[in-house]
């Protein structure tokens, strides 16, 4: 019996370098990121890529007629089936380019939505991706397809010309969005109950955030012993993962690995994944993991800060920068990074892969979460067994004795421990 090989789509990646746009990123690194995005989607083979320099985008087809003809010949020679444009493409531009080249075309938003759709695993993630995809499709219901030009007449007793198919399609999408939003609200409510239950357990939350492929999942796995998917791939993990872990010489914490950020994240996805990223808002400490070996590490870091600000993360939440992947740097560059990190007590140069530099980082985490620890002697009656058990469970008891009146317990704890004890 013959085995049928899965069809592999031959794709070409284009990055429009619009010279009139002063806010644009450097073209070559942006193209490399777009190729990496394409490689993250299964079933695609990137057979080529190119930077197309444009004085300004053409309203009807993005590129000029000469460039369109040149690319058409190239795509036919290479049997290209899918063109990925790293940037926004209007519905009209998309329709005209697909017609001119005889290929399927996706812009940056469409590509990221495809990746997210392929990777979402939890019920919440699937719902969020579906909502984002529908919101995206709704904005593109302006193509001049034949079925969109028809008029669908009203009922016999209703006057007027009826509604166009495009209006019916838009209403159908709106109805589906309402249904998905209701389902998502139930899922989010359940997760909110779980978060409220965790809040009653006195474990601080440490959230890992960072640009996609910065090494968050590798760090998460090293600290927790978990086996979260960690690959050299953009958006290797999507759904947030949480694990309880006891820090060396420190408290037990809940470590949260969040979805990776990316520049020009589609607005549909920022809104759809806001609920997922709420874990960051509940964090006692944020670890901003950076790929310090990347040529655009500063630009990536700024993208992460911008998204955190848009989510409502304030300066009141402590944040440490983890300069990861020092093992991927030449010795001279690594020495310079180590020297820079040593001058800033909020920065730690590490390698999640080898474990280098994680010790000092964990000590800083302990210091932030625990604060200065002090000794104190507590007196508990024999009827306060629950409080006594809590102290032992928190591992703050240094010594204990008892007499006829109850327990005399010497503890070494932080101000936060003391506040939590008072609420028991």
Residue whose entry in the numeric block shows the structure tokens 């790929």: 291
Task: Write down the pLDDT at residue 361.
Answer: 94
Task: Write down the pLDDT at residue 160.
Answer: 40
Cα end-to-end span (Å), the chain: 68
Separation of alpha carbons 170 and 194, rounded Å? 36
DSSP 253-268: EEEEEPPPB-TT--HH
Helix axes 415-422 and 358-370, enclosed angle (nearest 10): 40
Helices (H) and strands (E) in the chain, counts: 14, 15
pLDDT string in tens for the chain (424-residue length)? 445 566 789 999 999 998 877 666 788 888 998 998 888 888 889 999 999 998 888 999 999 999 999 999 999 999 999 999 999 899 899 999 999 999 999 999 888 888 877 777 677 777 878 888 888 877 776 443 333 344 433 333 333 444 466 677 778 888 888 888 888 888 777 766 666 665 555 678 899 999 988 998 889 888 887 665 555 555 555 556 778 888 877 778 888 887 777 777 776 666 656 655 666 777 889 999 999 999 889 999 998 898 888 777 877 788 999 999 999 999 999 999 999 999 999 999 999 999 999 999 998 998 888 776 778 999 999 999 999 999 998 888 999 999 999 999 999 887 777 877 888 8
Separation of alpha carbons 236 and 212, rounded Å? 8
Separation of alpha carbons 354 and 325, rounded Å? 9
Name residue 17's beta-bridge partners.
53
CB 181 within 8 A of CB 124: no
Helix axes 415-422 and 385-393, enclosed angle (nearest 10): 150
CB 83 within 8 A of CB 105: yes
CA distances from 136 to 121, 129, 220, 415, 422 (A): 21, 10, 32, 49, 50
CB 208 within 8 A of CB 256: yes
What are 71's two structure tokens?
Answer: 């690319």
């Amino acid at each position: 019996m013959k085995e049928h090989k899965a069809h592999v789509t031959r794709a070409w990646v284009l990055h429009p370098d619009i010279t009139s746009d002063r806010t644009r990123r450097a073209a070559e690194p942006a193209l490399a990121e777009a190729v990496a995005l394409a490689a993250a989607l299964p079933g695609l083979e990137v057979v080529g890529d190119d930077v197309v320099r444009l004085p300004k985008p053409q309203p009807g087809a993005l590129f000029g007629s000469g460039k369109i003809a040149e690319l058409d010949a190239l795509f036919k020679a290479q049997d290209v089936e899918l063109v990925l444009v790293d940037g926004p493409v209007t519905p009209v531009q998309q329709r005209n380019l697909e017609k001119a080249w005889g290929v399927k075309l996706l812009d940056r938003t469409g590509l990221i939505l495809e990746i997210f759709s392929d990777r979402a695993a939890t019920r919440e993630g699937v719902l969020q991706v579906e909502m984002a995809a529908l919101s995206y499709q709704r904005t593109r219901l302006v193509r001049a397809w034949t079925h969109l030009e028809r008029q669908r007449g009203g009922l016999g007793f209703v006057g007027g010309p009826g509604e166009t198919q495009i209006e019916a399609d838009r209403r159908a999408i709106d109805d589906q969005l309402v249904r998905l939003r209701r389902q998502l609200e139930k899922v989010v409510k359940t997760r909110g109950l779980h978060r409220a239950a965790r809040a009653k357990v006195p474990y601080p939350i440490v959230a890992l955030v960072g640009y996609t492929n910065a090494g968050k999942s590798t760090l998460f796995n090293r600290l927790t012993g978990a086996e979260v998917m960690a690959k050299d791939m953009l958006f290797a993990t999507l759904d947030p993962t949480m694990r309880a872990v006891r820090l060396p010489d420190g408290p037990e914490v809940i470590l949260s690995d969040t979805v990776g950020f990316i520049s020009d994240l589609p607005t549909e996805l920022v809104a759809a994944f806001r609920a997922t990223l709420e874990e960051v808002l509940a964090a006692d400490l944020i670890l901003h993991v950076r790929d310090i070996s990347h040529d655009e590490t500063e630009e990536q870091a700024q993208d992460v800060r911008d998204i955190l600000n848009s989510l409502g993360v304030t300066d009141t939440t402590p944040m440490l920068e983890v300069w990861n992947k020092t093992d991927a740097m030449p010795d001279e560059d690594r020495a310079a990074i180590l020297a820079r990190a040593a001058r800033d007590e909020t920065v730690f140069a590490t390698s999640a892969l080898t474990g280098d530099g994680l010790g000092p980082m964990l000590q800083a985490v302990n210091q932030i979460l625990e604060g200065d620890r002090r000794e104190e002697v507590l007196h508990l009656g024999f009827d306060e067994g629950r409080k006594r058990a809590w102290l032992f469970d928190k591992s703050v008891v240094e010594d204990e004795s008892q007499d006829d009146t109850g327990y005399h317990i010497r503890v070494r704890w932080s101000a936060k421990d003391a506040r939590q004890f008072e609420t028991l």
